Structure 1
């Protein structure tokens, strides 16, 4: 278009039909018209509109065609937009407002859309009635378009900021490499990155290992990604070169990397960003982000992708360092613990050590099993104060010293006193807690001492779990410094089939709860867990240590004494009744009745339950410890119930002749009346009172005659030998004397 044509076109436009003063100055109305802005005066009473030519040009109406009706200006407006404009004006008039402002799109004859802005003032009479509206109307297309651009730009920047913030937050909580991959591929991982798929490859030696894949159809790349670093693939190429690659054409990608061509049909993506993961000049791997719809990567999007790669790389570097430190700490701790636990005779034992997830901050938890003479074993679980290599070093020295003192044959109290002095002489400000037990698996006798540590748990054969009241002293080292080296010994009985559990506080410390809550949870899991020592140790580790969050080290020791179930013809059960257990006596009577019912001997249940209560009550009242109840069935030809109650007191009961008003002294008389035979036997450090309930044993003449022609005297004698019975074949015990001791009450 020539200059003349432009001048003629401008003169033809109503916006440029401008009257100028003789000196060429542009008037105010003309200035507005040049900026596509006009004015109007709307008489509401007369319903007429006076609008200048510039205003008519904004609405695209020729002056000759305008009939002064407001509706004429809005004929081209969409019905919905016209209704919205009418509502805006009506609300302004009826609400008493003095002005209104509105933007609306208006189609033009050339097919384009113009954004129009009306800014008006409402004039009212003294009574508040609106009678005129005056204002300006202008073409606001450029302004609105720019605002939309700015708004869209702001939305993109907000989205990019959100992606960076959410990714940074997720990566900040990742501790290990597994945590990083879980954050990338777990729920919400792709949404945080703003991608539809991802592949993470990590450099290991001279190879690339695909550590994570996420996104539909990406499994086809699983076999392609891992392998040697010199393979001609986009991810390995990016890692080698250290330069990002932004792909918007998969066809061009296949031409560059022919190995991908057979798999392009299965991929549901149109673009990808291959990003190197570099931290402190070390190449860690590569990250590939895949997109379904994206066709271009502008400067902001490329910067965003590179920023995400930097965040992931820094998180990976931190996680790799953590994994290396944790492996070092775990190996250091494991080297200081026993390399193996020997098999034991008469039971099974399992140990577990779990390191806390805290890098090189190793703890001082330990366990040990020490072989002692006469089929006895020393069991130790302890914890040195602190979580660092110093605590681990002290633990190693203390474990060896305590093991040496125990192997010398010292009683448990002496072992802990010497261990405390050893720790005090190390010239350290650390102390240690521990529980030490000497267990005789032949008899079940257990001697326990505590040094500021948690006491043991015992699971009985019927699944109940008890917490014996084990007296304790100050932590090792601290007791020597305070000159209070007192470690009282508690005597327990571990009957066949029972399980002895020692542990450190990491197994019961639940975040946000007190220690008692964790101990109760442990008791519940011990009760419901499997019977075997190994299986129970795994069960406790899975249910508690992993459940609490593995924030502390854990040492766990589980010892189960082999059960003694007898045979199908002569079953047997054992039960320990602790003196401090108020429900133990009632539970024992119930166990006896249920066992005899299960064995088909319910006819003897009343007498057996009565005798159980008398014998156990005598022990709990007149001795200073608990009792071991043994119930068994003597084999045929005459099936009888044999019941034995063992305690640690060496004083034997004596028979008395109580008066009519006496409240005690009838226990042995009742036993004599109910039992077929009874007696007392010495048992090492104590005694056992036993009785038999049921048919009388065969006489000497009956024993000499074969039963039904199929049993000999020798066979019968083997079945009913009385070499271990203190009472012989009589109904009373010749060993009973009126000497001192409990009255049998």
Structure 2
């Protein structure tokens, strides 16, 4: 019903409630539940697009306009309210208008009950809700877009916050899930270097062809360089439009799969440091929100790159300082080979105080040292340089190892830096194989024997350098070792054996396994250890590594020779030595001597291990002239000569030299430096000489 028009004087007539509803696109209804009839006012008829003759005055009559599914859902809503004792209900449904258009409609009803609570009537309203729902849908789409943009910014910021170096930034932008995180299908990242644009990252199918333009002049001849020069973002809905403007770029347009792109300058501290291109497939426009998102991403990337560039510059300076503190040249040695390696940590800005050194000493000896100054900063590197020079000077003066470390500790304490250092230092005589080793709170050496076994000799240690002097405990016990020909000694800092979350023994076991399985040559073994361990642990710490191998001494074809070191605390050493002797005798064509030689060697080795301190060096060689013989040597560090005696009937020891005398053709004892060597010879049987 339309409101009456008023043209005359006086107040307009009052508008009825029915007219107010109609003016707002609403109609009303009254449903008598007892009779099943429904009254629908004219405005309600308009909402349902019904003519009076089409409506039979029942709820079922509305089925002419309400689809069956919606009608069933609406009926369920009303029934649930009636059965549940509710007073009101509301529901959205569609009305199929006579022009075929679907109209979203909303109804709201109130249930009227009698004194006993039984429902009698429902009165309510109906209204066209199409515009309302369309507006709500638009709001939901906008909210979803904002949420997506916020997620892109948040995830990108979080990912780049962990990037430290420029390589970290490029890995973050091109790694797994990176393009999805950015909301793009392709990416190109360039940095400004010396008036040129250098592409440092490409990601996305077919974009690899742009690597042909990895280095280009910053002259505006390409869209990215123009963006950097003008410092203005450019959003391109059709990449084909760039062909005429940028002829150098035209040949690539038909070879890449993208149709749109956002060219974004990377501005940091008011300076253009590079450019970022985000490529898209099947995009026809960039909305204002999408443009703002791209600009925000460019700002995040620019800040991350600026931090990374500064970090790389500082790190280059720090690692340069560290390298300058290490020895420039390793002296050549006779009788062996030495390989040294240093690697700074992959993570973190600062360098450490790890160092190595090789020192030429009087009487053709060599001093080797590996150490670590406390801390990971340039101060630690500077202290390391001073300490290395001081230790080198004390060693070069010819002092014994214990004195060298005591003086180095005093030197560090007098620097008043509140820093301490750990190290292992050894003097090695490669001619005799003698090693005099000391350590100050550091990991001891690992030795690989000629048969492939490895062992950690027991080096008694002192306090770290600096602390030893502060606590007036400058005692660094010296340990004597023997390095037989072909054996390898490995010194390293803890960065090679420490893995976060595990004990150091796990890393030591891994190092021993890597040494056993590694190549023989010192340089190849050093590379093998770094490949297997330094990268495995995640490289969270600096690593200094020194590998020294004594030259093998196989003798000659006519006079072969083998060497074996038997450690005092190694239960397998004796059996390994016997096996090595038997194998060598078989190879040399005299297997018939194996039993006698093994028995004699066992007696000499047991005598040396029981009555001396330290291990024993076993040597067996062929003496071809004038008669082919097998000579066996057992060298130890005791100056007390063995004495042959006749034991009593009840004695359990004392028969060793009697057995050797009975088995061997000749035997004797010789002085050898700081110890002695007991030897015995066996004539090769004539029929075994082949």
Normalising TM by the smaller chain, what interval?
Answer: over 0.9
Deviations 1:541-562 (A, max 9, x none): 2222222222222111111111
How far 1:151 sits from its partner (Å)? Answer: 0.7
Residue number among 609, 613, 619 corresponding to 2:602 in the alignment: 613
1:545 aligns with 2:538: no
**Mapped contact 1:412–1:449 kept (Cα < 8 A):** yes
From the superposition, tell whether residues 129 and 484 of structure 1 become closer, same or farther in structure 2 (CA, over 3 Å). same
Trace 1:609-648 onto structure 2 (pairs within 5 A). 609-633=598-622, 641-648=630-637
**Mapped contact 2:590–2:684 kept (Cα < 8 A):** no
Aligned equivalents of 1:119 and 1:85: distance in 2?
A: 11
Aligned equivalents of 1:597 and 1:104: distance in 2?
A: 99
Residue number among 89, 104, 129 corresponding to 1:100 in the alignment: 89
Residue number among 148, 151, 163 corresponding to 1:159 in the alignment: 148
Aligned equivalents of 2:232 and 2:541: distance in 1?
A: 42
**Mapped contact 2:27–2:47 kept (Cα < 8 A):** yes
Aligned equivalents of 1:566 and 1:127: distance in 2?
A: 119
Residue number among 663, 679, 684 corresponding to 2:668 in the alignment: 679
User: Secondary structure of 2:249's match?
Assistant: helix
Residue number among 214, 221, 235 corresponding to 2:203 in the alignment: 214
Point out the more displaced range, 345-354 or 121-130: 121-130
From the superposition, tell whether residues 569 and 105 of structure 1 become closer, same or farther in structure 2 (CA, over 3 Å). farther
Residue number among 505, 509, 512 corresponding to 1:516 in the alignment: 505
Deviations 1:436-489 (A, max 9, x none): 100011111000011111111111122221111101111222222222111110
With the length of structure 1 as denominator, give the TM-score of the two structures.
0.86
Residue 491 of structure 1 corresponds to 480
How far 1:590 sits from its partner (Å)? Answer: 3.9
User: Secondary structure of 1:258's match?
Assistant: coil
Residue number among 214, 221, 236 corresponding to 1:247 in the alignment: 236
Residue number among 545, 549, 555 corresponding to 1:556 in the alignment: 545
Aligned equivalents of 2:581 and 2:58: distance in 1?
A: 108
Point out the more displaced range, 596-605 or 206-215: 596-605
**Mapped contact 2:590–2:685 kept (Cα < 8 A):** no
Residue number among 451, 463, 473 corresponding to 1:474 in the alignment: 463
From the superposition, tell whether residues 261 and 41 of structure 1 become closer, same or farther in structure 2 (CA, over 3 Å). same
How far 1:18 sits from its partner (Å)? Answer: 7.3
From the superposition, tell whether residues 232 and 674 of structure 1 become closer, same or farther in structure 2 (CA, over 3 Å). same
Residue 329 of structure 2 corresponds to 340
**Mapped contact 2:331–2:359 kept (Cα < 8 A):** no
1:182 aligns with 2:192: no
Residue 284 of structure 2 corresponds to 295
How far 1:87 sits from its partner (Å)? Answer: 4.5
**Mapped contact 1:537–1:558 kept (Cα < 8 A):** yes
Aligned equivalents of 1:122 and 1:187: distance in 2?
A: 59
**Mapped contact 2:495–2:542 kept (Cα < 8 A):** yes
How far 1:327 sits from its partner (Å)? Answer: 0.7
1:330 aligns with 2:319: yes
Trace 1:7-406 onto structure 2 (pairs within 5 A). 16=2, 24-44=13-33, 46-92=35-81, 98-122=87-111, 132-224=121-213, 226-357=215-346, 361-406=350-395
**Mapped contact 2:630–2:684 kept (Cα < 8 A):** no
From the superposition, tell whether residues 158 and 594 of structure 1 become closer, same or farther in structure 2 (CA, over 3 Å). farther
From the superposition, tell whether residues 226 and 659 of structure 1 become closer, same or farther in structure 2 (CA, over 3 Å). same
Deviations 1:112-157 (A, max 9, x none): 3311122234566788876654433221112211111111111100
User: Secondary structure of 2:14's match?
Assistant: coil
Deviations 1:168-196 (A, max 9, x none): 01111111111111111111111111101
Aligned equivalents of 2:364 and 2:68: distance in 1?
A: 100
Deviations 1:80-117 (A, max 9, x none): 44454445445555566554332233332334331112
Aligned equivalents of 1:143 and 1:636: distance in 2?
A: 114
Aligned equivalents of 1:130 and 1:566: distance in 2?
A: 115
User: Secondary structure of 2:276's match?
Assistant: strand
Aligned equivalents of 1:681 and 1:230: distance in 2?
A: 83
Aligned equivalents of 1:452 and 1:340: distance in 2?
A: 27
With the length of structure 2 as denominator, give the TM-score of the two structures.
0.93
Residue 431 of structure 2 corresponds to 442
Aligned equivalents of 1:73 and 1:608: distance in 2?
A: 115
Aligned equivalents of 1:120 and 1:571: distance in 2?
A: 110
From the superposition, tell whether residues 135 and 684 of structure 1 become closer, same or farther in structure 2 (CA, over 3 Å). same
From the superposition, tell whether residues 665 and 91 of structure 1 become closer, same or farther in structure 2 (CA, over 3 Å). farther
From the superposition, tell whether residues 62 and 368 of structure 1 become closer, same or farther in structure 2 (CA, over 3 Å). same
From the superposition, tell whether residues 503 and 43 of structure 1 become closer, same or farther in structure 2 (CA, over 3 Å). same
User: Secondary structure of 1:547's match?
Assistant: coil
Residue 642 of structure 2 corresponds to 653
**Mapped contact 1:328–1:360 kept (Cα < 8 A):** no
**RMSD between aligned residues:** 2.7
Aligned equivalents of 1:214 and 1:302: distance in 2?
A: 21
1:424 aligns with 2:424: no
Aligned equivalents of 2:266 and 2:199: distance in 1?
A: 13
Aligned equivalents of 1:273 and 1:582: distance in 2?
A: 72
Deviations 1:366-391 (A, max 9, x none): 11100112221000111112222222
**Mapped contact 1:360–1:389 kept (Cα < 8 A):** no
